[in-house]
Amino acid sequence: MRPSAPGSRATRLELFYDLVFVFAFLNVTTVTAGNPTVRGLTQCLILLALLWWAWTGFAALGNVIRTDQGVVPLVGFATAAAAFVFVLALPQAFLDRPGGMPGPLVFVTCYFLVRASQVAIFGWLVRHDRDLRRRFLLLVVPVVVATALIVTAALVPQRLFDGPAEGLARLALWLAALAVEYGVGLALRGTGWPVLSAGHWAERHGLIVLVALGESILGLGLGPGFVAGLPLSWPIIVAAVLGIAVVAALWWAYFDTLALALEQTLHRTRDRAARAALARDAYTYLHLPLVAGIILFALGLKGLLDEGADPSTPRWGVRLPGFDLLALYGGVGLYLVALVALGRRVLGAFRWPSVAAVLLLAAAVPVGARLPELIALGLLAAVTVALIAAQTVADAPLRGRVRQVALEEQLAVEAEQTRWRRRHL
């Protein structure tokens, strides 16, 4: 295994890992769409949180070792296979189906294999470093405890409870497992794993945001049921254009200025403990609601377009069911709340256009509940497009600075790469 370096970037093998999570996000939205209830939404968020923690382990590994060198690709392929089976078992994570293998146990076994392989690689890396060995032990405990809690959730509640009490007990155990995984990182401040490459860390998180946005695009394409041969109509075209407008606005709200500012702030943070804390807070924790918001929006979009594709639906569509409206507006609202929190943590200030957009969306929910679905989607598109216009104006000085720095860095890297290639290739 070769150690990483401060200037390393994401490798193609890491992008291969992300392909598993493309399917994972699609599977989560598909399963939740089939169970549009409060419990179904809760289970969706729990599964997203576990998926995120597993993905974070891959990102952290890529920051300390070169994942495309030595034996790491072989280990990575085996881990990716376990992760894929873990994703296949998502629909049965909470309830076993007769006629096959026990879904909850398959799920937790594969989750443990993924997390254990990540921890094992970290253990090999720190075998000669006494200080890092102590941190490694802190990584082992939450994996073991969380796995034990999920195994308990799979085996015990049905033996002790009946009816709704069984489901509540299972949810409580899952939430306890999440609390262990996420809570240890918050409780052990100052002992975070060092972030060698700020550029790699920022790039990996930007790429997974793009993967989540891609799920929204899939929702646009798969929601209308084109695979079932339903006719293409102008309401579907209008809905698709409005959906793309919202997705583009979400992309702009993150990538145009804020993502660049986050990465540059991480680069400027030289103290190892401070950088680890910033990477944990701004990326590991605050990017989770960012991604979850996009997935919820994709879930609502899929339901909306599925209704609109029905030839018997009125011209402007029917009123959105409460679940779809909550997913559609609530997902975008959660995304914007995460952006506000990121700005506060990294830039030290509230980004008021985003705050105003969150409040406006909250006020628009009862209005959207009374509107046909196309008009409700148009209202959401209008709010998000107005947000990026206002935020771009408000961010003008910051935007100019960070984009200029990013351009100068890109030109310098390209020039250095060109010089090296001319000498050695």
Does residue 294 carry a pLDDT above 80? yes
Q: What is the mean pLDDT of the chain?
A: 86
pLDDT confidence tier of residue 317, bands split at 50, 70 and 90: low
Same domain, 278 and 348: yes
Q: Which of 182-186, 298-302, 352-356 has the lowest mean pLDDT?
A: 182-186
Give the helix ranges, DSSP H, for 231-351. 234-255, 258-268, 272-278, 287-308, 322-342
> pLDDT tens digits, residue range 162-220?
878 888 888 899 999 999 888 877 776 555 567 889 999 999 999 999 999 998 888 77
Quick one: DSSP state of residue 37? S
276 Cβ neighbours under 8 A, 6+ residues apart: 192, 193, 194, 195
419 domain residue, yes or no: no
Same domain, 185 and 241: no
- Per-residue pLDDT at 315: 63
403 domain residue, yes or no: no
Same domain, 289 and 342: yes
Q: CA 288 to CA 323: how far, in whole Å? A: 21
Taking the model in full, what pTM does it have?
0.91
Calculate helix-pair angle for 322-342, 38-64, nearest 10 degrees. Answer: 30
Same domain, 114 and 248: no
Q: How many CB atoms lie within 10 A of CB 300?
A: 30
Total domains, the chain: 2
Over residues 332-342, mean pLDDT = 96
327 Cβ neighbours under 8 A, 6+ residues apart: 41, 296, 297, 299, 300, 303
Pick from 216, 218, 212: which is nearest to 338 by CA?
212
Question: At residue 126, what is the residue type?
Answer: V
202 domain residue, yes or no: no
92 domain residue, yes or no: yes
Q: Give the Å distances, CA to CA, from 126 to 159, 328, 387.
A: 42, 45, 46
Domain of 28, in residue numbers: 12-193
Q: CA 313 to CA 334: how far, in whole Å? A: 30
Residue that is last in its domain, among 171, 193, 215:
193
Same domain, 185 and 246: no
Does residue 7 carry a pLDDT above 80? yes
> pLDDT tens digits, residue range 206-264?
999 999 999 888 877 776 554 455 667 777 788 889 999 999 999 999 999 999 999 99
317 domain residue, yes or no: yes
- Per-residue pLDDT at 71: 83
> pLDDT tens digits, residue range 114-131?
888 888 888 887 777 777
Same domain, 165 and 68: yes
Same domain, 19 and 116: yes
